Amino acid sequence: MAIPDWPAQERPREKLLRSGAQALSDAELLAIFLRTGTRGSSALDLARDLLQQFGGLRPLLAASRTEFCSMHGLGDAKYCQLQAVIEMAHRHLRESLERGDALTSPEQTRRYLRLRLQSYPYEVFACLFLDNRHHVIAFEELFQGTIDGASVYPREIVRRALHHNAAAVIFSHNHPSGIAEPSQADERITLRLKEALALIDVRVLDHVVVGFENSVSLAERGVL
C-alpha cells in the first residue's frame, strides 16, 4: 500500500507536522527525504531496506557517491540532495556557534564537532579558534592521518593561532574505530600543545575526542 493510502496518523509527514521531527524514527525521516519508493515498495519500505543494508543512518549518511548511487532506488539527484542537507546542518551549527559563547554551550560545541568529524574513515585533527570572549573565530581541519592516527605539529598550530589572533582554542579529533576513549598519546600531545601555545598566551580550553555515538572531553577528565 502506498503511503498516501495509509491512515493519516501513520503517515510520516503528518506525524512530523503533528508531533515534530524528533518523534519520527530514522526510517520515517529517511522516507520523507526519499519522497518516493520503487515499484512495489513505498518510500518507508525503501528507507528500511537502505538502513538495513548500510547498517544504520550514520553509515548511510557517510557513504561515498559510488556506494550511495549503487543502491536500488537511489542516484545522483538524491545523493546531491543528501549532501546539501548535511552541509546545511554543518552551517546551521557553525552559525549557532559563531553567534553564541562556545564555553557556555559545551554540548552544542560537541554536537558540532561530532557532526564535522565522526564520519571520516581516517583520523582528522581540528581546532576551534576563539577570541578573548570565547566566541568562535574559525574552525579548521589541520591534520589528516590513516586509520591509526594523525601527525600533529605544534609549530603549525601556533602559526594558525597567531594568524587568527586567537586567545584560546578547543582541539578535537576523531577515532575512526568509533570509540571515543582518549589514549595516552592523546593526553601527551594535548599537554605538549598546551605548553607550546602558552608561550604566545593562547589558552587550551579543551580537547574533545569524537566517536560514532559520543565524545569525551579531556578537560572534564582532568587532563587540562
Q: What is the predicted pLDDT for the residue at 191?
A: 94
For residues 184-188, give the mean pLDDT: 91
* Contact status, residue 100 vs residue 106, Cβ threshold 8 Å: no
Residue 121: is it exposed, middle or buried by C-beta count within 10 angstroms (0-12/13-18/19+)?
A: exposed
Q: What is the predicted pLDDT for the residue at 73?
A: 77
For the cut 90, the answer to whether the pLDDT of residue 41 exceeds it is no
Element (H, E) at 207: strand 203-210
Q: What is the predicted pLDDT for the residue at 209?
A: 94
For the cut 80, the answer to whether the pLDDT of residue 2 exceeds it is no
The strand pair at 203-210 and 168-174 is best described as: parallel
* Contact status, residue 42 vs residue 11, Cβ threshold 8 Å: no
Q: What is the predicted pLDDT for the residue at 14?
A: 87
What is the pTM (predicted TM-score) of this model?
A: 0.69
pLDDT band at 201 (very low <50, low <70, confident <90, very high): very high
* Distance (Å, whole) CA 112 – CA 170: 12
Which has the minimum average pLDDT: 44-48, 101-105, 158-162, 203-207? 101-105
Q: Cell 543502491 maps to which residue?
A: 71
Q: What is the predicted pLDDT for the residue at 6?
A: 64
pLDDT band at 98 (very low <50, low <70, confident <90, very high): low
Q: What is the predicted pLDDT for the residue at 130?
A: 92
Q: What is the predicted pLDDT for the residue at 87?
A: 84
For the domain made up of 101-217, give the CATH fold.
Cytidine Deaminase; domain 2 (3.40.140)
For residues 35-62, give the mean pLDDT: 84
pLDDT band at 77 (very low <50, low <70, confident <90, very high): confident
Residue type, position 86, single letter: I
Q: What is the predicted pLDDT for the residue at 205?
A: 93
Query: Is the model more confident about 211 or about 107?
Result: 211
- Domain range list for the chain: 3-74, 101-217
